[in-house]
Amino acid sequence: MNQNTIVKLGLKIRVERQKQKMSQEKLAELANLNRNFIGMIERGETNVTVKNLENLANALNLPIQELFNFII
């Protein structure tokens, strides 16, 4: 993944979280991740593993492919 894709993925996760009126803390709890890590993902500061993407998708009640529904 190039940096632009990582940033867009993070933004998509943030938008989906906010649509559900969910805090970063709640998303972190549901995805079994650290809240600071959620912030880093949303800001595009870190790459994320497939397993963590799966956890995030499940926590957001979305199919994993929906997280990639953005224009690259």
Is residue 70 over pLDDT 90?
no
Give the domains, in start order, of the chain with CATH numbers: 3-66 (1.10.260.40)
Residue 71 above 70 pLDDT?
no
pTM for this predicted structure: 0.91
| Distance (Å) of CA 66 to CA 13, 36, 54, 57 | 10, 23, 11, 8
Tokens describing residue 20? 């559900």
Tell me the H-state helices in the chain.
3-19, 24-31, 35-42, 50-59
Per-residue model confidence as pLDDT tens digits over 4-43? 999 999 999 999 999 999 999 999 999 999 999 999 999 9
